[in-house]
Structure formats: C-alpha cells, structure tokens
C-alpha cells in the first residue's frame, strides 16, 4: 500500500529548549542559561523525509531528541498521531516511543560492547515484549539483519569485531525491529567512509519505500540532506531560518545563511 503523504505522524509545535550553563554554587539557582532551540515547529508526514541542516551547535540534535522523547522541551508541545505526548496514557506514551526510533552518528558507541550484535538488536524486542521468548526474538533478529544487507551469522560477533558500516547496518536493524513509523537519523553517515556513506543512504531510502517509514534526517552536510529529504529545515543558532521543498531550497535559497551553507559545501 502507498504511504499517505497527507497523514501527519509527528508534529513539533513552537518548541524552545533552554540549558542552564551557570548555577549558584550553594543554592543551585540558575544564573545563566542559553536557548539551544527557539520557536521551532514542523510536521513529519507518513513516508516522507524531513531534513534538518545547519552548522555545529545550531540545535539540530536537541530538536531531534525532543521530537523523539529523549529530551524534554522547556516550552512547546509534541504531538504523535494528533495526540499531545504530555497528555498520553502510559500505554500511548510507550507506543509513541516505540514508533519513533533513532540512529546515531557513531554506531559502535550506540551498541553495548559487552553483548553480541544479536543480543544488541534483540534488546528492544525483549524489553517491549514483542516476542514470546528469546528464540522468537532471535528469529526476528536474523530476519532484520538480512533485511539490512547483513549475513545473519554476524549476530554472534561483538560490535568491536565488525566494521563501522556493518555496525551502522546493525543499528538500523535494531531501530527497525520494533516496526517504527519514524526514524530520527542524527548524522548517520558522518563517521563512515565516503564509499560506505552512499550504501547506507541508499539502504535507508530503500527501507523507506518498502516500509512507508518517515525520517527526520539530521546532517551538517547540505548535499546529504538534500539527497535524503523531501523538505528541508535550515537551522542557525537554534532557530529555523529557512524551510521548503528540498530542491527548491538548494536551487533558490532565500536566506543568507542558507546561501553560505550551500557555497561552503561546493567549495569543500
Ligand atoms: N546538555 C547540554 N547542556 C548545555 N548546553 C547544551 C547541552 N546540549 C547541547 N547544548 C548546547 O546547545 C546548542 C545546540 O546543541 P546541539 O547538540 O543540538 O547542536 P547540533 O546542531 O546537533 O550540533 P552538532 O552538528 O555539533 O551535532 C549548542 O550550543 C550546545 O553547546
Ligand atoms: Mg548534533
């Protein structure tokens, strides 16, 4: 079945995130804070990819983590399938967290080094009780590993025994195994060799088509974001300075900061 591109899966409404950077040494009162994200709103639709691009420190990861429930916003709201996550029952909140998964920059540090790849990929299934027993969970693990282009025998290896590209594929399998509707990819290829980067990006694209998954695709590289995304948000110092259809933003940028990002991408 085709993805319904009008269906809003995730909605971020006017969020702001403040971090305390200086506290009183005795009272703990906040003396100084910074706003890492300001006035940020966007929608993620079924089967669509939303790219977030900006320089280091512009607030991309903070935005992604708030959208997926890993961090709490200071102000503003997150809606999953039309429901405010702060007004959800425990079951609804658990469903939201299961349906919004993450892939990070460094796949090796996102895996527990003391457990095999098979164990790492099976953990979410066991935690969320999506399989009856370990045997059934391991069957799912083998299926998922093959789906992301790995030989299922890799499940007996430890993260330190496989390559970065293989480990990122395993991290994708771990995200997919709980059957999510959205995957937040935070710089998923920045730590990989250029030749491996293209393989991983194409795998993500193929999975998106097959499974109707939506992505929030975060990168400092406007070329990568453009390749992966239908729409783009450009962030600078915590704010969205430009947004629009990916190709349109790249060909016809309106904001000076976006122009600077594009120019520096072509000079490098
Ligand atoms: N836990 C924290 N405490 C204080 N400040 C923080 C914290 N996390 C992030 N920041 C600050 O918030 C701002 C945004 O950080 P964020 O990690 O979201 O940026 P980013 O765009 O993902 O950068 P990068 O491309 O380097 O990953 C930065 O100024 C950062 O220093
Ligand atoms: Mg980041």
Q: Which atom of ligand 1 is nearest to the CA of 55?
A: 25
Residue 241 lies in a domain: yes
Residue 139 lies in a domain: no
**Residue spans of beta strands (DSSP E) within the chain:** 8-23, 30-45, 49-53, 75-80, 83-84, 100-103, 182-186, 214-219, 231-236, 239-245
Is this structure's pTM higher than 0.85?
A: yes
Residue 226 lies in a domain: yes
Question: pLDDT, tens digit, for every residue of 11-43?
Answer: 999 999 999 888 898 898 988 999 999 999 999
Q: Which atom of ligand 1 is nearest to the CA of 21?
A: 4
Name residues whose C-beta falls within 8 Å of residue 166's C-beta, 6 or more positions apart in sequence: 150, 154
Check pocket membership of 59 for ligand 1, CB cut-off 6 A.
yes
Residue 99 lies in a domain: yes
In three-state secondary structure terms, 173 is helix
**CATH code at position 244:** 3.40.50.300
Burial class, 102, CB count within 10 angstroms (exposed 0-12 / middle 13-18 / buried 19+) = buried
Residue 143 lies in a domain: no
Check pocket membership of 61 for ligand 1, CB cut-off 6 A.
yes
* Range of the structural domain that residue 65 is part of: 8-109+184-267
Q: For residue 38, how far is its CA from the centre of ligand 2 (angstroms)?
A: 16
Count of structural domains within the chain: 1
Residue 117 lies in a domain: no
Residue 159 lies in a domain: no
Among 62, 221, 241, say which to mutate for ligand 1: greatest number of ligand atoms within 8 Å of CB: 62
Residue 77 lies in a domain: yes
Report the 10 Å Cβ neighbour count for 22.
Answer: 11
Question: pLDDT, tens digit, for every residue of 195-222?
Answer: 899 999 999 999 999 999 999 999 999 9
């Amino acid at each position: 079945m085709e993805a319904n591109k009008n269906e809003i899966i995730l909605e971020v409404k006017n969020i702001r995130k403040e971090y305390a950077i200086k506290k009183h040494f005795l009272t703990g009162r906040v003396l100084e804070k910074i706003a890492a994200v300001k006035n940020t709103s966007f929608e993620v639709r079924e089967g669509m990819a939303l790219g977030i691009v900006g320089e280091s420190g512009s607030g991309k990861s903070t935005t992604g983590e708030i959208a997926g429930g890993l961090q709490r916003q200071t102000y503003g709201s997150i809606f999953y399938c039309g429901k405010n996550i702060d007004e959800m029952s425990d079951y609804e909140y658990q469903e939201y967290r299961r349906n919004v998964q993450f892939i990070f920059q460094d796949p090796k540090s996102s895996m527990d080094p003391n457990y095999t790849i098979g164990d790492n990929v099976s953990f979410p299934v066991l935690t969320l009780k999506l399989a009856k027993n370990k045997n059934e969970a391991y069957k799912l693990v083998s299926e998922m590993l093959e789906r992301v282009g790995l030989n299922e025998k890799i499940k007996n290896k430890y993260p330190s025994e496989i390559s970065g590209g293989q480990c990122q594929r395993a991290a994708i399998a771990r995200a997919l195994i709980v059957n999510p509707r959205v995957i937040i990819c935070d710089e998923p290829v920045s730590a990989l060799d250029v030749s491996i980067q293209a393989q991983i990006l194409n795998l993500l694209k193929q999975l998106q088509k097959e499974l109707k998954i939506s992505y929030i695709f975060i990168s400092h590289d406007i070329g990568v974001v453009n390749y992966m995304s239908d729409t783009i948000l450009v962030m600078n110092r915590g704010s969205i300075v430009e947004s629009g259809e990916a190709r349109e933003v790249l060909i016809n940028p309106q904001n000076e900061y976006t122009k600077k990002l594009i120019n520096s991408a072509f000079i490098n």
